[in-house]
Amino acid sequence: MSDLPDDRTVISRRKPYGDRVFATNLPAGDPREYLLGRQLQHFRLDEYIGGGGMGMVFRGTDLELGREVAVKLLVRGPHTDDDMVARFRQEAQSAARLNHKNIAQAYYVGEDDGWNFIAFEFVAGDNIRDIVERKGPLSVRRAVETIMQIATALEHAHGQGVIHRDIKPSNIVITPDGQAKLVDMGLARLDPVDAVKEDLTSSGMALGTFDYISPEQGRDPRSADIRSDIYSLGCTLFFALCGRPPSDTSADLYPSSRTAIKRLLSHRDDLPEELIPIIKRMLRRKPRQRFDSMADVAQALAPLSKRMGVDVNYPGLLRARERSRRSEASWNTDAKPTMTTVPAEPQPSVDSQDEDWLNSLAAAQAEALNRNETEEAAAVDEPPDAREQLAEIYRRHRQHS
């Protein structure tokens, strides 16, 4: 790609101008202090924002365009190799394909004497984790509105073949005007399988993530798919409403959805009745028992959102539904459909799509959710030994935290 001073993502390996940073000859001490104020190509690192595991994030300045950016660096360490660097750049290019108002845009990908970095849109606001820690759980309306926005953003990402793999409260920023933005697209793909296990209690690389990843992703990060993101988004919604993840205070890393809902209801007595089965379905242990797509999640929330006065993008939901139906064969052929989210008859036009369509959609959702409740009651849970190793790691983490 060419170096053009606009909002298109640029991929570059050119040498920097100004102060150079040599990642292989860092002085002893905290690398954040060494990097602060330095320049990677035409990006100045102004303030350390956060990070963990394999990455660091700085608020920076694009010196060519004079705008604020978020600069994310891949930190070389004992588990970093050339393959991981290649995957970092590949994921950056995947993020560059995404163009959605609820996803932080990737501007530039580069390398400066050993530092691989991505410059993203800087999103002003607070992430859900910080908001909840400071002010307490979100209102039902704000939580549903936020999850609706992120679900549509992830539907767009999934349509481009990008699985997030690291959805959690700290990766969703709410701007001052109430817009939700998903950040850190794809960076979770960098976690090497062995490093996750080794670094869990020492470096804290996966501590936050482990409360939000799905059972199948916990067993094998490479197995994560769309439904894994749905599970993580369900955990994030749970946290937004409760102030803690579903696994909090539990000896089991993956409590049953029934247990999680009981815990949620013990903290909130103002939850709409129709919201409970939606959360429960997102938190199923088995992928085939969850929603099939983020479009299905958004459509399940649409009737409730409308009643609460949340702006629902009906044209977007309809388009997402059609895309989801066309790609239904992407899952295992032996996995039977578990949810019907819309009425079978043709939909009315967007102009006339008001109470009639909304009530029809709500009825279809209720029928499908009730049917799935019956199926789940007869289902046998996965053998506990399938999660034994991860559960033991998780229990050790709880004992030391």
At residue 46, the 3 state secondary structure works out as strand
Strands 55-62 vs 43-52: parallel, antiparallel or unpaired: antiparallel
- From the CB of residue 90, how many other CB atoms can be counted at a distance below 10 Å? 13
At residue 172, the 3 state secondary structure works out as strand
Residue 5, in any domain of the structure: no
Residue 352 neighbours by CB under 8 Å, 6+ apart: none
- 187 shares a domain with 74: no
Residue 2, in any domain of the structure: no
- 109 shares a domain with 227: no
Percentage of the chain lying above the pLDDT 70 cut:
60
- 148 shares a domain with 89: no
Domain ranges, residue 230: 126-400
Residue 322, in any domain of the structure: yes
**Final residue of a domain: which of 103, 121, 139?**
121
Question: Residue 96: what pLDDT?
Answer: 83
Domain with residue 157: its CATH number is: 1.10.510.10
Question: Which segments within 170-287 are labelled E, that is strand?
Answer: 172-174, 180-182
**Final residue of a domain: which of 102, 121, 140?**
121
Residue 46, in any domain of the structure: yes
What is the pTM for the complete model shown?
0.71
Question: Residue 141: what pLDDT?
Answer: 96
pLDDT digits (tens, 9 = 90+) for 152-208: 999 999 998 888 888 999 999 999 999 999 987 654 343 333 333 333 323 333 333
- 153 shares a domain with 42: no
- 143 shares a domain with 80: no
Residue 1, in any domain of the structure: no
- 149 shares a domain with 36: no
- 295 shares a domain with 250: yes
Residue 236, in any domain of the structure: yes
Rounded Cα gap, residues 326 and 295, in angstroms: 12
Q: Give pLDDT tens digits along the chain (401 positions).
A: 333 344 445 544 444 333 333 344 455 567 788 899 999 999 999 999 987 656 789 999 999 999 999 999 987 666 667 777 887 787 777 778 899 999 999 999 998 978 889 999 999 999 999 999 999 999 999 999 999 999 999 999 999 888 888 899 999 999 999 999 998 765 434 333 333 333 332 333 333 368 898 999 888 888 889 999 999 999 999 999 999 999 875 556 677 888 888 889 988 999 999 999 999 999 999 999 999 999 999 999 999 998 988 876 655 555 665 665 555 544 444 443 333 333 333 333 444 444 544 555 555 555 555 555 554 544 444 444 444 545 555 555 455 54
pLDDT digits (tens, 9 = 90+) for 278-330: 999 999 999 999 999 999 999 999 999 989 888 766 555 556 656 655 555 44
Residue 152's closest CA among 311, 356, 277, 339?
A: 311
Q: How many helices (H) and strands (E) does the chain have?
A: 14, 10
Q: Give the active site residues.
A: 166
Residue 169's closest CA among 204, 223, 128?
A: 128
Domain with residue 96: its CATH number is: 3.30.200.20
Residue 346, in any domain of the structure: yes
Residue 31 neighbours by CB under 8 Å, 6+ apart: 56, 75
Residue 131 neighbours by CB under 8 Å, 6+ apart: 138, 174
Residue 112's closest CA among 46, 45, 21?
A: 21
- 85 shares a domain with 193: no
Question: Residue 16: what pLDDT?
Answer: 37
- 394 shares a domain with 248: yes
* 80-87: long-range contacts, CB 8 A cutoff, minimum separation 24: 80/54, 84/54, 84/190, 84/192, 85/116, 87/189, 87/190
Residue 267, in any domain of the structure: yes
DSSP-assigned beta bridge partners for residue 51: 56
- From the CB of residue 1, how many other CB atoms can be counted at a distance below 10 Å? 12
Spatial contact of 43 and 141, defined as CB atoms under 8 Å apart:
no
- Count of domains for the chain: 2
- 189 shares a domain with 116: no
- 157 shares a domain with 104: no
- 344 shares a domain with 395: yes
**Final residue of a domain: which of 83, 98, 121?**
121
